[in-house]
């Protein structure tokens, strides 16, 4: 048997922190609910661009207190969320707050349930999920816990912090490698160009990313593995350029390994004919 939290309810948790998480002071009490085994995005950094909604996977376990049962899911509510800065401000205003987009809880016993779903991150300016490049940092994890009376109405609510943190990073892009001349004579020089850009969450555009170390990789025809043949530093506009010696037919591509604020990227490959 499973109990469900509908997308409509949990989307509100992400968009309206005030109405969903803002519990009156009179109800700010220990609920006795335990949320454990929280895993966000399989333990990997979350990478967000400028327009596409990102829904990182989320899983966690719930244990209920005496007097409550997983058979009655409308009498409790518990879920993790991400925040940065002050917990109360994030939860009460929705600023610097990222909540679940939807999740389903699978009943394991009358007191325990395993829940799976996703977070909801929309870079659109109206959502204010990532509206500043300062949001590309390490976010903290907290949980919202609520109990309801049998006849309706809030009985107790609280927020608990966790030691778990989640890196949020700006997406990077690499253009398709452009190798020239084509075809090329064996033993002659071939020049490969490209460009590295990354998401600007303030303008919702991709800007040239300068001063970054980017690898030029080559995969010989008939093989499956790309190998780094040269490393270059991106120019002031993110431009890339490297010259290597042509030896065999194959494909070139650019690869960026990312950093603490920016995700990884791999450009599409360009095949070259060596004669």
17, 134: one domain: yes
137, 243: one domain: no
120, 183: one domain: no
Percent of the chain with pLDDT over 90: 86
Q: What tens digit of pLDDT does each residue of 31-81 get?
A: 999 999 999 999 999 999 999 999 999 999 999 999 999 999 999 999 999
101, 227: one domain: no
37, 130: one domain: yes
Q: What is the pLDDT at residue 21? A: 54
Domain holding 55, by residue range, is 2-169
Alpha-carbon span 169 to 129, nearest angstrom = 13
Task: Report the CATH number at residue 199.
Answer: 2.60.40.730
Q: Is 213's pLDDT higher than 90? A: yes
Are 188 and 252 in contact by the 8 Å Cβ rule? The answer is no
41, 159: one domain: yes
The strand pairing partners of 160, in sequence order, are 143
83, 128: one domain: yes
The last residue of a domain, from among 147, 169, 191 = 169
Q: What is the mean pLDDT of the chain?
A: 90
164, 178: one domain: no
Task: Report the CATH number at residue 39.
Answer: 2.60.40
- Number of independent structural domains in the chain: 2
How much is the pTM?
0.88
67, 192: one domain: no
177, 240: one domain: yes
35, 50: one domain: yes
145, 19: one domain: yes
B/e letters for 38-77, b = 16+ CB within 10 Å, e = fewer, are bebbeeebbbbbbeeebbbebbbbbbbeeebebeebebbb
The last residue of a domain, from among 169, 185, 203 = 169
The last residue of a domain, from among 169, 185, 218 = 169
Q: What tens digit of pLDDT does each residue of 108-160 get?
A: 999 999 999 999 999 998 888 999 999 999 999 999 999 999 988 999 999 99
Dihedral, CA of residue 222, residue 227, residue 229 and residue 231, to nearest 10:
140
């Amino acid at each position: 048997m499973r109990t469900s939290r509908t997308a409509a309810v949990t989307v509100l948790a992400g968009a309206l922190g005030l109405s969903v998480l803002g519990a009156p002071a009179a109800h700010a009490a220990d609920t006795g609910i335990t949320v454990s085994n929280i895993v966000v995005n399989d333990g990997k950094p979350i990478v967000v661009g400028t327009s596409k909604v990102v829904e990182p996977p989320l899983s966690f376990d719930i244990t209920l207190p005496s007097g409550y049962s997983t058979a009655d899911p409308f009498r409790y509510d518990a879920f993790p969320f991400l925040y940065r800065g002050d917990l109360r401000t994030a939860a009460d205003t929705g600023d610097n707050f990222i909540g679940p987009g939807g999740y389903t809880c699978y009943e394991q016993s009358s007191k325990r349930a395993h829940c799976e779903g996703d977070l909801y991150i929309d870079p659109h300016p109206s959502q204010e999920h990532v509206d500043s490049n300062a949001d590309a940092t390490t976010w903290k994890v907290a949980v919202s816990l609520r109990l309801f009376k049998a006849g309706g109405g809030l009985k107790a609510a609280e927020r608990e912090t966790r030691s778990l943190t989640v890196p949020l990073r700006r997406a990077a892009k690499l253009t398709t490698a452009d190798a020239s001349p084509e075809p090329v004579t064996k033993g002659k020089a071939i020049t490969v160009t490209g460009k590295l850009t990354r998401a600007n969450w303030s303008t919702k555009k991709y800007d040239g990313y300068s001063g970054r170390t980017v690898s030029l990789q080559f995969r010989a025809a008939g093989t499956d593995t790309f190998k780094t043949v040269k490393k270059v530093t991106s120019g002031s506009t993110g431009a890339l350029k490297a010259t290597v010696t042509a030896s065999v037919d194959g494909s070139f591509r650019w690869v960026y390994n990312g950093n603490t604020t920016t995700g990884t990227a791999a450009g599409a490959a360009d095949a070259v004919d060596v004669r």
